Structure 1
Amino acid sequence: MRHSYYDFFAGGGMAGIGLGDAWTCLFANENDPQKAESYRANHHGGRELLLRDVAAVTRDDLPGSPDLVWASFPCQDLSLAGNGAGLAGKRSGMFKPFWQLMRALHADGRGPKIIALENVYGAITSNGGRDFATLAAAFSGLGYRFGAMVVDAVHFLPQSRPRFFMIGIRGDLAVPPGLTGDGPCALWHPPALVEGCNLLSRTAASRWRWWNLPTPPARNTTLASLIENKPTGVAWHSKAETRYLLDMMSDHNRKKVDAASQAGERVIGTIYRRTRTGPDGIRRQRAEVRFDQIAGCLRTPAGGSSRQTIMVVSGKTIRSRLLSTREAALLMGLPESYVLPERYNAAYKLAGDGVAVPVVRHLSQTLFEPVLHRNRLALVA
């Protein structure tokens, strides 16, 4: 039995790739022409994709009655690095017209069986937790039993990428035993999320559920296994450029490089440039390196500081270059066959704005599909 879904703020369609072949996309929405082009290139032409601002989408644009609605709505105003506007901001505020469409579907008798929101970790604490409470009130207002989790892509991929997921099950559907717990689980429910529940209204709190997903199997990929020997689209830095990066490091980070040099083997690390305040009170740009076989969280290439750099250390030989776009795609769990934009910044932005494919697959296999299967069996019975 195939399942159906809508994909809002679809980007390059990574959520659909994560859901897999058992799912059919009835409708997808994106307002970025470059991302829409990538979606179509990787989804058999993407005839289901509507290139339009979500605020201009109407219920008449939405076909059928979906099993799942997935929405990775814009994160900029909720991000810890953002401007603090939260759900009142211009970009993250796109949640409001999206949810109006969810209300319209319910008014039509086509309410989605499952709604899944994905965003940055900062969605939990944005606006003092009030934005989190607003999201909860939205689910509660439509009668969904819902809960939230933080899932880090590092469980599946060599990338540190914690993301917030709020998932609701329509109130008339049964939730299979074992999918909820009596309380929070440390793996999925960090203290900030537990604390955020204190802001829920009495009604929302009564519909809250602690989703209890299985622990993912041990990750079997390392950063080194995804790094291209002959990268495409990027060039190795000159010795002077690599020296410049080394000179930007604090003593703590230089010691990491020195230790890698003495390891007696090829060691691969990643670097982000960050602005830090020194002991003298002066803010300087620093190069911070990690050699733990985990990449830092991919971001959009708004500037040089947000583009991740690879450092390869072999004894006294130290080389550096930007992360290639194919490596960025692999760090999101995309297959080698995924067609990337030709321009570096467009491809990097596509990856940095996306959702990690195996995280979606885990949610689908352990939560979405069991719920749908249980309720279809109930209809047959």
Structure 2
Amino acid sequence: MRTFYEFFAGGGMARAGFGDKWDCLFANDFDPKKASSYVSNWGSADMVCSDVAKLTTEDLPSNADVAWASFPCQDLSLAGAGAGLKGERSGTFWPFWNLMLSLKDEGRAPKVVVLENVCGALTSHDGKDFSEICSALSSAGYKFGALVIDAVHFVPQSRPRLFIIGVEQKVNIAPDLTMQNPNPAWHSPALIKAYEKVPSPIKSQWIWWNLPNPPLREINFSDLIEENPNNVSWHSRIETEKILGMMNNLHREKVRRVQDLGVLKVGTIYKRTRPDGYGGRVQRAEVRFDEIAGCLRTPSGGSSRQLIMVVEGENIRTRLLSPREAARLMGLSDDYCLPEKYNDAYHLAGDGVAVPVVRFLAEHIVEKLVPSRLSTTDRAA
């Protein structure tokens, strides 16, 4: 059985993506609420709730084939303050990486390291932060490459994310896992531009990872909607009218066009601060009816929570996106145990990695780099 460590684990969405054929040896998150959710779904044996900077290699059992790290994005996000890898949150990459270096010194370095973050990591500090990550991988003896994968290929949520995959020099890489040139499907212009800024000696370790085309997504946003959700209620007519009043002419026209169809349509709404045309700024409600949700965000730090709008002729209803709907947008099954409080559940989903994206990467790259090993039970049999 293949083994992995899950750093910055949140509620264990990477674990859900890896699936039952993988054995999680260790999981870590500093947030007690997220760690509690992890334990509720996966048990307590693997989870250590701690600041990653306080961990040592003594906390990491055995030899893991893979280390997965969805390190915090706040300082790398386009909506953040621009602190980058020197920031308090995203800077936790470095204590994580020091653990990887210590494992290397002990002869226990993971064969594969997967780093996941927002695409802002490509442009942070004009690409210098991305180059620093590449340099860290190269210096530790890893060949590496990156991919930008939008979860919209798998779930009805627009959620592009950066995945950097490093593999030890000694690991055999099958020819079909790489290609000579970038593929626009997985290597965005921003990624290619960031790659071009990587110093040449480090760039020599670069891999253009090869992925197949994703399967055709069969599920739409309206398929995920609950009629009678827990934790949220449908707005009153006055509240719905207030949301409509926050729309500019373009978005009000979207609603009118959908009303004219006379059939039930489901859209999503985010409230955003926009210029008011008079030198000031005003909060606007912006709606989309393309059967795709906007990217889930955490409700902390001033980000708005996503709303849904159901239109059927003259009848218009609105409410907050429910926790279970948010979980479904991340590819979590309905038997996944969510926190009881709305904000805790929404935060858990908004901070996570989309489960089917992890599965896709595992199936088409990671599992081909790491041969399966017999588990203890298998050996005993």
Q: Same fold (TM over 0.5)?
A: yes
TM-score, length basis structure 1: 0.96
Code of the residue aligned with 2:78 in structure 1: it is: L
Code of the residue aligned with 2:351 in structure 1: it is: D
3-state secondary structure, aligned to 1:288: strand
Code of the residue aligned with 2:147 in structure 1: it is: M
Q: Deviations over 1:53-77 (max 9, x none)?
A: 0000001111111111000001000
Q: CA deviation at 1:175?
A: 0.6
Q: Distance in 2 between matches of 1:228 and 1:168?
A: 40
3-state secondary structure, aligned to 1:240: helix
Code of the residue aligned with 1:30 in structure 2: it is: D
3-state secondary structure, aligned to 1:83: coil
Note if 1:170 corresponds to 2:145.
Answer: no
Q: Distance in 1 between matches of 2:320 and 2:349?
A: 14
Q: CA deviation at 1:203?
A: 2.1
3-state secondary structure, aligned to 2:79: coil
In 2 relative to 1, CA 303–77 (structure 1 residues): closer, same or farther, beyond 3 Å?
A: closer
- Identify the match of residue 157 of structure 2 among 145, 156, 159: 159
Q: Which residue of 2 aligns with 1:82?
A: 80
Q: CA deviation at 1:38?
A: 0.3
Note if 1:242 corresponds to 2:228.
Answer: no
Q: Distance in 2 between matches of 1:363 and 1:305?
A: 29
After the TM superposition, which residues 222-301 of structure 1 pair with which residues of structure 2 at under 5 Å, given as runs?
Answer: 222-301=220-299
Q: Deviations over 1:109-136 (max 9, x none)?
A: 1110100000011000011110000110
Q: Which residue of 2 aligns with 1:346?
A: 344
3-state secondary structure, aligned to 2:370: helix
Q: CA deviation at 1:354?
A: 0.4
Q: Deviations over 1:164-213 (max 9, x none)?
A: 11001111011111111111110111111101112212221100001110
3-state secondary structure, aligned to 1:178: helix
Q: Distance in 2 between matches of 1:173 and 1:303?
A: 42
In 2 relative to 1, CA 214–263 (structure 1 residues): closer, same or farther, beyond 3 Å?
A: same
Q: Which residue of 2 aligns with 1:53?
A: 51
Q: Which residue of 2 aligns with 1:321?
A: 319
Aligned length: 374
Q: Deviations over 1:319-360 (max 9, x none)?
A: 000000000000000000000000000000000000000000
Q: Distance in 2 between matches of 1:281 and 1:247?
A: 20
Q: Distance in 2 between matches of 1:5 and 1:258?
A: 51
Q: CA deviation at 1:278?
A: 2.7
3-state secondary structure, aligned to 2:291: coil
Q: Distance in 1 between matches of 2:239 and 2:314?
A: 16
| Greater Cα offset, 34-43 or 302-311 | 302-311
Q: Distance in 1 between matches of 2:116 and 2:272?
A: 26
Q: Which residue of 2 aligns with 1:39?
A: 38
Work out whether residues 155 and 220 of structure 2, in 8 Å CA contact, stay in contact via their aligned partners in 1. Answer: yes
Q: Which residue of 1 aligns with 2:207?
A: 209
Note if 1:11 corresponds to 2:10.
Answer: yes
Q: Distance in 2 between matches of 1:160 and 1:301?
A: 17
Note if 1:184 corresponds to 2:179.
Answer: no
What percentage of aligned pairs have identical amino acids? 55
After the TM superposition, which residues 117-156 of structure 1 pair with which residues of structure 2 at under 5 Å, given as runs?
Answer: 117-156=115-154
Work out whether residues 328 and 351 of structure 1, in 8 Å CA contact, stay in contact via their aligned partners in 2. Answer: yes
Q: Which residue of 2 aligns with 1:379?
A: none
Q: Distance in 2 between matches of 1:139 and 1:252?
A: 47
Q: Which residue of 1 aligns with 2:102?
A: 104
Work out whether residues 53 and 95 of structure 2, in 8 Å CA contact, stay in contact via their aligned partners in 1. Answer: yes
Note if 1:306 corresponds to 2:301.
Answer: no
TM-score, length basis structure 2: 0.96
Q: Deviations over 1:260-290 (max 9, x none)?
A: 1011210000000000013322210000000
Q: Distance in 2 between matches of 1:107 and 1:214?
A: 36
3-state secondary structure, aligned to 1:217: coil
3-state secondary structure, aligned to 1:310: strand
3-state secondary structure, aligned to 2:116: strand
Work out whether residues 148 and 162 of structure 2, in 8 Å CA contact, stay in contact via their aligned partners in 1. Answer: yes
Q: CA deviation at 1:243?
A: 0.4
Q: CA deviation at 1:78?
A: 0.3
Q: Distance in 2 between matches of 1:63 and 1:341?
A: 29
Q: Distance in 1 between matches of 2:26 and 2:284?
A: 44
Q: CA deviation at 1:224?
A: 0.5
Work out whether residues 2 and 373 of structure 2, in 8 Å CA contact, stay in contact via their aligned partners in 1. Answer: no
Q: Distance in 2 between matches of 1:23 and 1:115?
A: 15
Work out whether residues 174 and 375 of structure 1, in 8 Å CA contact, stay in contact via their aligned partners in 2. Answer: no
